[in-house]
Amino acid sequence: MIIHGTLVNLRERRMEDFEDYERWFAPGWAWQEWDAPWEAMTPLDEKMRERWHERLAAPPPGPPTGLEIETVEGRHIGWVNSYWIDEDNCWRDCGINIAEDEVWGRGMGKEAYALWVDYLFSAHDLPRLGMGTWSGNRRMAWVAARVGMRQEARFADARMVKGKYYDALRWGLVRAEWERYQLPREDGLRRYTPADWDATVELTRQLFQQHRTLQGAPPFSVQDARETLYSWLARRDNILWLWQQAGQVLGLARARHDGACFLEEFVVSEGRRGQGIGARFLAALEDDLRASGERDLFLSMVWPGNLGAIDFYRRHGYDVLNTFELRKGLDKDRRGREIEFLERRFYLSDSVP
């Protein structure tokens, strides 16, 4: 059995792989500092070689629980595995390890992990797949976010690494979401899928750049946008919608569901504004929420200086609730142009002694 990707393939284990594992389980490899570094490492011995022989001669029935990762050129670089957390409830975790660290950061981990998650959901009747890591291992959490997992739990100071405590993290993906990722990405309103990463990063950048420009603040970089999207994906109470036309993603909305639904971000692609896209996107999003039983949609993200946006929402039936958001900048540099604008607009400065 072989699962083909564009950078890597996943294939079944062979006896000659044992030599690679012998090397990788000797001390000094970088992966050992990242993959559960609190666990003791045991070098492979002759007994283990025999166990491999026996297992390869008589593999257990059912789909494989692990596969080897090799580059498309055929270089063996690591492995993926999977194991029960709770078999009675079909709760399974899956892991990845690229032991050859000089190939890290080239997209191979992301592709191998995505192929593995797809395979496990296809081959087993699993309600969910999970992954456990620690807060020091950003690369692994990032790979989980990129394949469409969401962060499900965080246990503060639960993992000790090199004398310092880190948080234990659990990420996971439920079958319904994974099945949604497999659907064709049709025009109209739809939820975010991992394949939308690049388009979503760009819309996120445009949105925050607009805020920065209004405030005369430094530019919002692509890396800032990537970090922002990652932080949204890391929270299960975030909902991300996209608006697509003629195969192009032209709108992004983010809501936070916290008892009620709060629309926190709403943006239409630069250059495509003023063509009725926002109105259609917002109406479809409201329909989607109505269909799932929501009674209200709150907008708390509208900056009072953004008069065009306020006008847009009022025309679409939003009532101004007259709530003020107050802030005290706890360091002296926090008073941006936005505050000066508000003071002028609402004559607030007169009332400040």
Residues found near ligand COA in the complex (CB under 6 A): 31, 34-35, 78, 95-98, 104-110, 133, 137-140, 142-143, 146
Question: Considering beta carbons, is residue 64 or 78 the nearer one to ligand COA?
Answer: 78
What distance, in Å, lies between the first and last C-alpha atoms of the chain? 76
Least distance between ligand COA and beta carbon 134 (Å): 7
CA 244 to chain centre: 20
Residue with tokens 């939820």: 191
Least distance between ligand COA and beta carbon 32 (Å): 8
- Element (DSSP H or E) covering residue 52: helix 46-57
Question: Considering beta carbons, is residue 139 or 175 the nearer one to ligand COA?
Answer: 139
Of 319, 284, 315, 278, nearest in space to 298 by CA: 319
- Element (DSSP H or E) covering residue 66: strand 66-71
Question: Considering beta carbons, is residue 169 or 189 the nearer one to ligand COA?
Answer: 169
Question: Residue with the closest Cβ to ligand COA?
Answer: 109
Tokens describing residue 277: 């896209």
Question: Considering beta carbons, is residue 33 or 45 the nearer one to ligand COA?
Answer: 33
Beta-bridge partners for 241: 191, 253
Question: Considering beta carbons, is residue 131 or 261 the nearer one to ligand COA?
Answer: 131
The full 3-state SS of 205-225, as one line of letters, equals HHHHHHHHHHHCCCCCCHHHH
Question: Considering beta carbons, is residue 199 or 342 the nearer one to ligand COA?
Answer: 199
Residue 68 burial class via C-beta count within 10 angstroms: exposed 0-12, middle 13-18, buried 19 and up: buried
Least distance between ligand COA and beta carbon 140 (Å): 4
Question: Considering beta carbons, is residue 194 or 336 the nearer one to ligand COA?
Answer: 194
Q: What count of other Cβ atoms lies within 10 Å of the Cβ of residue 218? A: 8
Is-contact 302 309, C-beta < 8 A? yes
Task: Give the C-alpha separation, 81 to 244, whole Å.
Answer: 36
Task: Give the C-alpha separation, 187 to 249, whole Å.
Answer: 8
Q: What count of other Cβ atoms lies within 10 Å of the Cβ of residue 194? A: 17
Task: Give the C-alpha separation, 347 to 192, whole Å.
Answer: 42
Task: Give the C-alpha separation, 247 to 185, whole Å.
Answer: 8
Is-contact 171 140, C-beta < 8 A? no
**Phi, psi for 245 (deg, rounded to 5):** -135, 135
Question: Considering beta carbons, is residue 233 or 261 the nearer one to ligand COA?
Answer: 233
Question: Considering beta carbons, is residue 110 or 261 the nearer one to ligand COA?
Answer: 110
